[in-house]
Structure 1
């Protein structure tokens, strides 16, 4: 019997695997939260499948998404990234990865972990929405507005409310699986 999935992923093996194994699953690990933050910031203005197809290229180019290394990237490394055709070569987004890594570490120092910080916005547990059709899911919410505003105040870049809401969906802070999707009750 075929599993019912959210409509947005159907028809692409990579998309379906991502949907089935990762999307909407609560993430409390700082390294993974940072990876999704980097990927979401690069996704701004592009489709998620574009980023997903380049994910392993990003992983290789950005030292496995190691925020401690990224926080110390030199101009030479930034130039190398800007010339790397296997990733999105947006100069401002590349520079923002460094700034965001530095600020990510500051949040860890202040809150004990980035996870403690970000999950506090939803009282530590996922918000379970009742999305009938993925096209009806919100692009942002008052919570993503608040997180975005706070991150910007802390110096983060490319963290608009829509980017943050996509991050919340990806990391399971909100469950926006369609109610008849097999993952809805699993996450």
Structure 2
């Protein structure tokens, strides 16, 4: 026996059954992929927001570092002057001569000894030095001024031996001998 489709109750039940069947069909084949896509896109959106936050934080950190570097840039210049990246022996000799002229001291001799470069086993932190010898003549006051100027140079020097001797009977004339070393980064 077949149901009578002309009756209102049969039509309602049939409509409900077909609606449920259509919803199930579309739920499986149309709505499910849409929901999966929405879920995937939400996850990608969350990931993108996380990446954006991380990038903003890195940009802020880089900006702060740039400001800090700008503030200490002059100090970095002084640090590279203190220990230059090469020997710069002629520059050191010229600086010593300029200091002697400023202190009104006569340089008798200025020697820069052979610079021996060693192969760096320690990587980028290899430091070397070379020796120098200065003989100068002047009054005790002038020689003291010269020593002060020499010890206050921007470049780091080690004064190994310093001797002061009176020369002849010329009054307040002394000879200053300095053996030292200058350091540089290799």
What range describes the TM-score normalised by the shorter chain of this pair? under 0.3
Larger radius of gyration: 2
Higher relative contact order (CA 8 A, sep 6+): 1
TM value normalised by structure 1: 0.24
TM value normalised by structure 2: 0.24
Report which of the two has the higher share of helix.
1
